[in-house]
């Protein structure tokens, strides 16, 4: 093999002319280079030559266009980030509030794990309740939009809590329960300060919170049942939305409505039936002509299926509110038809 390879050894040498030319080019190239004693000096020198180098006109144009686009993108990112950050502290009656809701929607869409979905749902529901608390303190109406969103967030929180692993689901549901009870108590205290026009909406929120607390209680015992109950609720939501006009709670007198018995009445089945009526009847046809009306949360009132379970939960030593009705499930047994039939100006 070595002998065969020797055939490659016999090559012509480099011509003197080519050698001379190559040498001159090599030394010329060396002479054109600035001398640096170290690599850091070389980097510094390279940067200086880059800065001092004046590029061609098209290159300058391309560079300036790219720089402008980058600058605009950076400004856009910074400004939108600032707006979103500023919106986090906004209230429902402020201009940045939709941005806050949008950012919450985006965060929810980006959450993949059930645990993080639950945490976000609970955090956002907590935000809604804080907003409602603040508005109640200042005597303002929270508005249907906020309460509707609260309801959706609570449903989602319950749903995602029940989707967690067994122990995690129980802990999450207990967390929801404690949180909502706290807000419920606070809202009941603030009820007296509320604007008479907003009382019905706050009543609706309190009823909603009671129902969710009951649902969480039930879920602590059997987390999987929450999915079924929520599905039932959604079906009933659809039916109610298609079959009947939006019902309202008729509050005859602001003082009565804000008092504790009135709150209890809002959760009693017969009173709920009496106070929930068709919108037209509720606003126009009640007995004393008081036009204070809010929406009656009928879908939620049909949610809790078993009246015995909240009683069991109460007997299990859970904290109870003296203002809270003995059986918060009672309104849920009241069918919407009953409320629609019964109710013109029925007064507790």
CB-based contact 209:257 (threshold 8 Å): no
Q: 44 or 70: whose CB is closer to other proteins?
A: 44
Say whether residue 109 binds other proteins (CB under 8 A). no
Q: 14 or 109: whose CB is closer to other proteins?
A: 14
Residue 54 beta carbon to other proteins: minimum distance, rounded to whole angstroms: 23
Q: 34 or 245: whose CB is closer to other proteins?
A: 34
- Which window, 20-28, 174-182, 251-259, 297-305, contacts other proteins (CB under 8 A)? 20-28
Residue 45 beta carbon to other proteins: minimum distance, rounded to whole angstroms: 9
Say whether residue 235 binds other proteins (CB under 8 A). no
Say whether residue 315 binds other proteins (CB under 8 A). no
CB-based contact 266:292 (threshold 8 Å): no
Residue 15 beta carbon to other proteins: minimum distance, rounded to whole angstroms: 8
What's the token pair of residue 231? 């599905």
Convert the chain into a string of H (helix), E (strand) and C (coil). Answer: CHHHHHHHCCCCCCCHHHHHHHHHHHHHHHHHCCCCCCHHHHHHHHHHHHHHCCCCHHHHHHHHHHHHHHHHHHHHHHHHHHHHHHHCCCCCCCCCHHHHHHHHHHHHHHCCCHHHHHHHHHHHHHHHHHHHHHHHHCCCCCCHHHHHHHHHHHHHHHHHHHCCCHHHHHHHHHHHHHHHHHHHHHHHHHHHHCCHHHHHHHHHHHHHHHHHHHHHHHHHHCCCHHHHHHHHHHHHHHHHHHHCCCCEEECCCHHHHHCHHHHHHHHCHHHHHHHEECHHHHHHCCCCCCCCEEECCHHHHCCCCCCHHHHHHHHCCCCCCCCCCCCCCHHHHCCHHHHHHHCCCCCC
Q: 31 or 95: whose CB is closer to other proteins?
A: 31
Among 31, 51, 95, 308, which residue interacts with other proteins (rule: CB under 8 A)?
31
Beta bridge partners of 249: 276, 294
Say whether residue 17 binds other proteins (CB under 8 A). no
Say whether residue 308 binds other proteins (CB under 8 A). no
Residue 38 beta carbon to other proteins: minimum distance, rounded to whole angstroms: 5
Residue 48 beta carbon to other proteins: minimum distance, rounded to whole angstroms: 15
- Which window, 12-20, 94-102, 132-140, 160-168, contacts other proteins (CB under 8 A)? 12-20
Site string for other proteins, 40-79 (x = CB under 8 A): -xx-------------------------------------
- Site of tokens 């009565």: 256
Say whether residue 102 binds other proteins (CB under 8 A). no
- How many residues belong to the site for other proteins (CB under 8 A)? 31
Say whether residue 29 binds other proteins (CB under 8 A). yes
Say whether residue 27 binds other proteins (CB under 8 A). yes
Residue 4 beta carbon to other proteins: minimum distance, rounded to whole angstroms: 6
Could you count the other beta carbons within 10 Å of the beta carbon of residue 281?
17
Among 30, 51, 95, 243, which residue interacts with other proteins (rule: CB under 8 A)?
30
CB-based contact 114:164 (threshold 8 Å): yes
> For residue 187, which of 329, 321, 343 has the smallest C-alpha distance?
321
Residue 41 beta carbon to other proteins: minimum distance, rounded to whole angstroms: 7
Q: 30 or 51: whose CB is closer to other proteins?
A: 30
- Which window, 30-38, 184-192, 246-254, 261-269, contacts other proteins (CB under 8 A)? 30-38
Binding positions for other proteins, rule: CB under 8 A: 1-2, 4-14, 18-19, 22-23, 25-27, 29-31, 33, 35-39, 41-42
């Amino acid at each position: 093999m070595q002998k065969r390879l020797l055939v490659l050894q016999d090559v012509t040498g480099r011509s003197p002319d080519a050698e001379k030319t190559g040498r001159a080019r090599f030394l010329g190239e060396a002479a054109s280079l600035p001398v640096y004693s170290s690599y850091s000096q070389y980097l510094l020198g390279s940067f200086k030559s880059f800065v001092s180098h004046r590029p061609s006109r098209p290159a300058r144009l391309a560079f300036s266009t790219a720089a402008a686009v980058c600058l605009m993108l950076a400004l856009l990112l910074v400004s939108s980030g600032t707006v979103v950050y500023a919106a986090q502290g906004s209230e429902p009656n402020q201009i940045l509030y939709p941005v806050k809701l949008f950012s919450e929607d985006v965060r929810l869409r980006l959450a993949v794990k059930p645990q993080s979905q639950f945490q976000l749902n609970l955090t956002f529901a907590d935000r809604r309740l804080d907003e409602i608390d603040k508005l109640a303190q200042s005597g303002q109406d929270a508005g249907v939009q906020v309460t509707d969103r609260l309801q959706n967030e609570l449903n989602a929180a319950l749903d995602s809590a029940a989707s967690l692993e067994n122990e995690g689901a129980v802990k999450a549901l207990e967390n929801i329960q404690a949180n909502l009870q706290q807000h419920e108590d606070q809202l009941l205290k603030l009820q007296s300060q509320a604007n008479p026009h907003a009382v019905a909406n706050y009543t609706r929120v309190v009823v909603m919170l009671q129902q969710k607390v009951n649902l969480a209680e039930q879920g602590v015992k059997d987390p999987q049942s929450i999915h079924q109950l929520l599905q039932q609720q959604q079906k009933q939501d659809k039916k109610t939305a298609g079959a009947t006009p939006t019902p309202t709670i008729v509050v005859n007198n602001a003082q009565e409505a804000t008092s504790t018995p009135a709150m209890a009445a809002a959760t009693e089945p017969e009173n709920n039936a009496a106070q929930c009526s068709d919108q037209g009847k509720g606003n126009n046809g009640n007995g004393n002509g008081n036009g204070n009306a809010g929406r009656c949360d009928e879908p939620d009132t049909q949610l809790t299926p078993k009246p015995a379970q909240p009683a069991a939960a109460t007997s299990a030593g859970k904290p109870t509110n003296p203002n809270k009705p003995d059986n918060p499930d009672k309104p849920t047994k009241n069918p919407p038809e009953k409320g629609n039939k019964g109710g013109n100006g029925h007064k507790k």
